[in-house]
Structure 1
């Protein structure tokens, strides 16, 4: 009996490893006869595994999706990867923390001791993004289904300041004005209660929030919609032909929208910051580089460095450079120098009050 049970587990592991298996190849891998393979397949079917016979010259088997989730087999590395992913689920922003905790407890109970030790030794304290709202998992599934089916999405969208955004929190520090994002918050026909219509293309996660990247049919332009503000309507609309996001890279496209940019920067790279300046700071390069983000730092000596940095506005860039707490020499462009002058007047007025 033990030999049969072990053979069934080995057969199940093979069926999970690839889509189709010829019957003769399974018999050779298990070192049994094709007849024994057929009997073992029948036993797995009785246990609830939907194994379909494949017709053809060689014949074979395929493990299909069923109506319920049967027991699964993982190798050691897969089991550890699943456990780590479940521990980090709190940062996903998808409202699945409790379900992830229950799933992790279930998996850990059936893990062999050697794997439980590996998981327990990995002490992870996941920290969710402060103020990031939780997107409803049902909404995320509905958006994903519309993307996969290529169907126009009809939905209601909560505009800025609506009651449903009470948990949204403040705009992230250093973010561009929301209007610069060309986001779905620019509601058209909101007063009439008309649903939005968009061709959904990508569902992306960024800093604990979920966004739908879609072609807005009412504006004939690309938009990013926050998933926690979306209420899908049914039924969905007609099918549409897929489009390519500008630049062909959805990650770069979303990053550019949050930078307030659709243009190329001075290096010719697409989706760069709309405002890029160059300064010399009276501070060592090693200290500046730790906080320069995607800026470029050049060492000019023990207490001087050159910094090329970008931002969504000239005023925002000048303010960001001030945080290095060092004397600043503006190399260019003139817009950055003017932004420093404007900030100096504001700060002097604030100090005088």
Structure 2
């Protein structure tokens, strides 16, 4: 509701914003300007100086740092406090924040977990038009780690993240690698980013056990609003549980690599590249037992080693490695 003022003789009759809406408008004005003069705020809000002072005090009680400068030209300004208060954003600001969050989310870096938590809180509050603007920006922006599956299912990540936070049962269709679709009912616990994929760690109520689900294979998520008490977990760390589950799952490409570098060096280089088990073979050698669903995954891992190695594996893999070596050799030759 827009407020109006009507001047009658020497008196002003105010038709005011509802108090809660007025506080939000006051907060927006204080965030937009370095210093807001009191008379200007009173005029914008159509309230008396006394009411303005009461509204400022209400914001202070909510945790906002607001300083008052006395005098006829004095005003109010926002200052930092020891804690972060709730923030108010315009639509274009919300688009920028959402895109920045999703950029961090897709990078898979150290801040991806925090980005996911923030995205799961922001996503349900975005109007549909704002979501379309965010999608338009993402579709026109490319980074070297972008994956179509992740961009397509960012909404799914937001819904699942919120369900994890609120401990609410979800139902969804799950696409298996062979192409079939199974209906699942699960109690979501955590979302984990590993090896360029997001995984949902959840208790599968129909199979009565803890499972991991690749988010890019999840479709048509329904949040039932049914709360649940968490089942006892057979693991302490959800990331370790995902790792263990991936290592135990049968993969078409498995083998060993003897690497001519220390275990610590290779562990740092391979973090987040491919599931595998590392064993020391002395001070400057180690063995990697790997498992991958694709040739590309193994080739990516070998390039990431940045060290000499001896490879054992199926003939198809050895041929692919030799072809990659020839391609690198040809590319390193000067142009004729």
TM-score > 0.5, shorter chain as reference: no
Greater fraction of residues in strand: 2
TM-score (norm 2): 0.44
Task: Report which structure shows greater RCO (CA 8 Å, sep ≥6).
Answer: 1
